[in-house]
């Protein structure tokens, strides 16, 4: 795995590198202090050509640089770097690195060290411009890299963490997907037809484009089905904060380098859009543990025992420990097909909900056929609700929609933020 850790402080950089090595067994590359200053200074010098508002079509590819083809881990505090102007942070450079280098995945470290588990939106830190915000202590948790519960340090493995050993391949696929469709509408390309689009929350539509407006509204916004990937590039400021720059680049249609910039930027935006607006709220798509929580009979006899619930989480291929026939007839047609955008297999919930046969099977189940379990988002496991009085703890996440009530095991020594949500 090609990992690059960047910090202004050599000692802290060594600590980061040691944490990564502890988890993945390989020493990451390091870019620290003066070397980092030099690379960033060169980088910002080189991208001036592309940000030249007079002639963005002359934008040229950057020379090879240390950020290319890596998972880049940037400590947020870069104040010791001797650069001109305001002190740098990971947040101030992450978007530019994404747009102009071939960095595969960018992690902002210690943006908010009070957050180990995000109770608000189940994404980590929704405000980051990187792909993911983590703390130093998380890097040594092998489960962050593998997604395996058995590797989880202290049992801590937020379900919303991506598996870092898969993000590079996934991001490259996502970029290629967007690159092939820059002028095509986003939602139909992602398999959202009119009915499915109707099920998106107002936040989800607004996050694609601030001018997105549902049919029937009286103003003159854009129909969600018409928003193209290129429109998303212009609308979203997570990578390039200046709208004028984005507008100019979006118009440089003949320049292949610019098309790559747009594809990288939009791929990261859509990936984040899925995590914040679809996977977090579990609507209109639902992934396996949340689906089983809603329709326990899918597990058949396994639903009686806690082990049966957790066993199915280890299976990553269809039929996911569900009865083959039931899966083939009812679940497979509702499976989300663009699965490069979701971390785990997902299904269209409204289609399953409206399936009369599944409905009948639900009502046929007897009291006592299902263990009384809850899915703990912080451990990526089901736990018995009857076995312990103190947890799983219920909390309401902050997103729109009906599925905001979730559970955590609340592991000691980890910060669950904001704590106030645990008391609601």
Least distance from another protein to the Cβ atom of residue 387, Å: 12
Q: What is the DSSP letter of 228?
A: B
In the complex with another protein, the residue whose CB is nearer, 1 or 361, is 361
Quick check: 364 binds another protein (CB under 8 A)? yes
Q: Among residues 366, 390, 413, 420, which is the contact residue for another protein, using CB under 8 A?
A: 366
Site for another protein in 281-340 (CB under 8 A): 293-296
Least distance from another protein to the Cβ atom of residue 419, Å: 19
Of 67, 71, 238, 88, nearest to 139 (Cα)?
71
Q: Among residues 225, 311, 370, 410, which is the contact residue for another protein, using CB under 8 A?
A: 370
Q: Among residues 261, 373, 397, 411, which is the contact residue for another protein, using CB under 8 A?
A: 373
Q: Sort 193 into a burial class: Cβ within 10 Å, 0-12 / 13-18 / 19+.
A: exposed
Quick check: 367 binds another protein (CB under 8 A)? yes
CA distance 319 to 316: 9
CA distance 134 to 112: 8
Least distance from another protein to the Cβ atom of residue 358, Å: 12
Cβ(108)–Cβ(77) below 8 Å: no
In the complex with another protein, the residue whose CB is nearer, 227 or 352, is 352
Least distance from another protein to the Cβ atom of residue 388, Å: 14
CA distance 331 to 299: 13
CA distance 284 to 273: 13
Cβ(68)–Cβ(102) below 8 Å: yes
Least distance from another protein to the Cβ atom of residue 91, Å: 34
Quick check: 45 binds another protein (CB under 8 A)? no
Of 112, 72, 76, nearest to 92 (Cα)?
76
In the complex with another protein, the residue whose CB is nearer, 86 or 424, is 424
CA distance 362 to 357: 9
Quick check: 368 binds another protein (CB under 8 A)? yes
Backbone angles phi, psi at 333, to 5 degrees: -65, -20
CA distance 393 to 402: 18
Least distance from another protein to the Cβ atom of residue 411, Å: 19
**The tokens of 208 are what?**
């694609």
Site for another protein in 163-202 (CB under 8 A): none
Least distance from another protein to the Cβ atom of residue 344, Å: 18
CA distance 14 to 5: 9
Least distance from another protein to the Cβ atom of residue 405, Å: 5
Quick check: 423 binds another protein (CB under 8 A)? no
Binding mask 394-413 for another protein (x = CB under 8 A): x-------xx-xxx------
With CB under 8 A as the rule, give the number of residues binding another protein. Answer: 28
Backbone angles phi, psi at 348, to 5 degrees: -75, 110
Q: What is the DSSP letter of 396?
A: E
Residues that bind another protein (CB under 8 A): 293-296, 359-360, 362-375, 385-386, 394, 402-403, 405-407
């Amino acid at each position: 795995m090609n990992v690059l850790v960047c910090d202004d402080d050599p000692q802290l950089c060594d600590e980061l590198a040691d944490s990564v090595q502890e988890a993945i067994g390989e020493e990451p590359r390091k870019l620290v202090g003066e070397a980092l200053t030099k690379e960033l200074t060169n980088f910002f010098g080189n991208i001036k050509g592309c940000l030249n508002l007079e002639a963005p079509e002359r934008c040229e590819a950057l020379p090879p640089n240390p950020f290319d083809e890596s998972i880049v881990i940037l400590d947020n505090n870069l104040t010791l770097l001797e650069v001109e102007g305001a002190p740098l942070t990971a947040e101030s450079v992450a978007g530019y690195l994404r747009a102009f280098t071939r960095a595969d995945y960018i992690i902002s470290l210690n943006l908010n060290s009070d957050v180990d588990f995000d109770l608000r939106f189940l994404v980590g830190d929704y405000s980051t411009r990187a792909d993911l915000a983590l703390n130093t202590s998380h890097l040594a948790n092998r489960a962050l890299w593998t997604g395996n519960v058995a590797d989880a340090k202290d049992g801590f493995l937020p379900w919303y963490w991506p598996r870092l050993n898969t993000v590079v391949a996934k991001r490259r696929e996502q970029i290629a997907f967007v690159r092939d469709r820059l002028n095509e509408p986003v939602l139909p390309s992602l398999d959202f037809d009119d009915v499915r689009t109707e099920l998106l929350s107002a936040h989800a539509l607004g996050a694609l484009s601030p001018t997105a407006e549902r049919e029937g509204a009286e103003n003159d916004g854009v129909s969600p089905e018409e928003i193209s990937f290129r429109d998303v590039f212009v609308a979203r400021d997570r990578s390039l904060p200046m709208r004028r720059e984005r507008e100019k680049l979006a118009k440089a249609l003949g320049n292949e380098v610019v098309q790559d910039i747009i594809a990288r930027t939009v791929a990261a935006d859509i990936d984040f859009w899925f995590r914040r607006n679809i996977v977090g709220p579990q609507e209109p798509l639902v992934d396996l543990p949340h689906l089983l929580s809603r329709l326990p009979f899918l597990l058949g006899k396994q639903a009686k025992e806690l082990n049966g619930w957790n066993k199915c989480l280890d299976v990553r291929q269809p039929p996911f420990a569900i009865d083959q026939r039931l899966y083939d007839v009812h679940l497979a047609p509702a499976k989300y097909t663009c699965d490069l955008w979701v971390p785990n297999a997902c299904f269209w919930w409204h289609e399953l909900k409206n399936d009369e046969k599944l409905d009948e099977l639900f009502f046929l189940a007897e009291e006592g056929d299902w263990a009384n379990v809850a899915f703990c988002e912080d451990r990526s496991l089901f736990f018995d609700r009857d076995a312990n009085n103190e947890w799983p703890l219920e909390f309401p996440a902050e997103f729109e929609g009906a599925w905001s009530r979730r559970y955590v095991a609340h592991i000691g020594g980890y910060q669950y933020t904001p704590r106030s949500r645990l008391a609601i």
